[in-house]
Amino acid sequence: MDYLLQQLINGLTLGSIYGLIAIGYTMVYGIIGMINFSHGDVFMLSTFIALIVFLFISSLFGALPLALALVLVLIAGMALTSLWSFVIERVAYRPLRGSFRLAPLISAIGMSIFLSNFVQVVQGPNNRSVPPMLQGYVTVPLGDGSFTIAYKQMLIFLVTVVLLGAFWFLVQKTSLGRAMRACEQDRKMASLLGIDVDRTISLTFVLGAALAAVAGVMYLVQYNVVNFADGFVPGVKAFTAAVLGGIGSLPGAVLGGLLIGLIETIWSAYFSIDYKDVAAFSILAIVLIFMPSGILGRPDVEKV
């Protein structure tokens, strides 16, 4: 029982990270119907930016309180990753809007290859690590056993919940959010009603990248190590999460992320750690084949 609870907590931590990345996929897919293949690599880029900014800050100020350092890293990481995503959208996707369907997909795959190799060239192919931060944990007694919640897990939950709340507010209550939802429902109608569709799409990419950057910082806090090749697999898993939750649905992306995190952790704990990625990919295939609209998504009606 305590072992299961421990795995649940670990799974939810991992799932929060997936959920944050998944939002970027689901928003972009909702608005322009494109799988943003490079999103996983944007996430990877953000882990590197977070690492460098963190090291820079700690070399500059020495013993800065960790909380302040993390806030600074978060802000810098979100800003810089958003800039990257903004430029990527302008250069690689916008010229292809309205072009045939495969062109943006190929362009996105090309961008993904470019980003991972770019980071490899400028930062080197080996792992980069930071000293572990926030090492303490709370032990919760339970019956005759106990389980632990690490401080960093609490931090990841907290940041995820706060940022999701802020993001939820942005999408539901602000005019930008209204414009995004309008573009998602009907892009042409939205533009007729005076919404700047290009600007809205740009902002969607920027917001998705900002949340991916949050996931990147949390990833660094949790694992302390980054590598240029670590964009593809988290990217595909986050996409699985978006599909599982119902692509286009924001709460669905978070729910899907948590579920994928839980399934992966439980699978590794009880079955086989070697096949944990097979589990994630199988879920992706099964969900797409048997319930393509996901848990919270709208069914896709085909017009003749």
Partner 1 sequence: MTTPAPSTNTATGADTAAEPSAVSRALKDALKTALLVIGLGTPIILIQTHQSGAGVTLEWRFGLLASLAALAFASRLLWLLFIGPRIAARPATSITDKVPPATRVWIKRAALVFVLLYPFIALGLAGKGGAIKWIDNFGIQLLIYVMLGWGLNIVVGLAGLLDLGYVAFYAVGAYSSALLAKTVGLSFWLCLPMAGILAAFWGILLGFPVLRLRGDYLAIVTLAFGEIIRLVLINWVDFTGGYAGISGIPRPTFFGLPFNTSDNGFAAFFGIPFSPLHRLIFLFYLALALALLTNYVTIKLRQLPIGRAWEALREDEIACRSLGIDTVTTKLTAFATGAMFGGFAGAFFAARQGFISPESFIFMESAVILAIVVLGGMGSQIGVAIAAVVMIGGTELLRELDWLKEIFGPSFDPTQYRMLLFGLAMVVMMVWKPRGLISTRAPSISLGEAKAISGSFVKEGHG
Question: Interface residues with partner 1 (CB under 8 A)?
Answer: 33-35, 45, 48-49, 51-53, 55-56, 59, 80, 83-84, 87, 90-92, 94-96, 99-107, 109-115, 117-124, 126-131, 232, 236, 239, 243, 274-275, 277-278, 281-282, 284-285, 288-289, 292, 304
- Residue 9 or residue 76: which is nearer to partner 1 going by CB? 76
Count of other CB atoms within 10 angstroms of residue 139: 9
DSSP string, 87-120: HHIIIIIGGGTTS-THHHHHHHHHHHHHHHHHHH
- Residue 211 CA to residue 198 CA, distance in Å, equals 20
- Residues 180, 27: Cα–Cα separation, whole Å: 9
Query: From CA 126, how far away is CA 27, in angstroms rounded?
Result: 33
Quick one: 12 or 39, whose CB is closer to partner 1? 39
CB of 48 to partner 1, least distance (A): 6
Nearer to partner 1, 164 or 280 (CB): 280
Q: How far is the CB of 55 from partner 1 (least distance, A)?
A: 6
Rounded to whole angstroms, the Cα distance separating 85 from 71 reads: 21
Least distance in angstroms from the C-beta of 100 to partner 1: 5
Least Å distance, CB 229 to partner 1, is 10
Q: How far apart are CA 183 and CA 196, in angstroms?
A: 9
Token pair of 59, please?
Answer: 């070399």
Which of 3/61 has CB closer to partner 1? Answer: 61
Q: Nearest Cα to 262, choosing from 7, 25, 1?
A: 7
For residue 269, the surrounding DSSP H or E stretch is helix 250-270
- Where in the chain does DSSP place strands (E)? 128-129, 137-142, 145-150, 225-226
Shortest gap between Cβ of 50 and partner 1 (angstroms)?
10
Q: For partner 1, which is the closer residue by CB, 51 or 183? A: 51
Q: How far is the CB of 181 from partner 1 (least distance, A)?
A: 21
- Unique residue bearing structure tokens 């926030």: 134
Q: Which is nearer to partner 1, 27 or 53 (CB)?
A: 53
Q: What is the distance between the alpha carbons of residues 183 and 173, in angstroms, rounded to a whole number?
A: 16
For partner 1, the closer CB: 55 or 266: 55
Smaller CB separation from partner 1, 81 or 160: 81
- Residue 296, helix vs strand vs coil: coil
Q: Which of 41, 233, 47 is nearest to 128 (CA)?
A: 47
CB of 143 to partner 1, least distance (A): 36
Min dist CB 142 to partner 1, Å, is 34
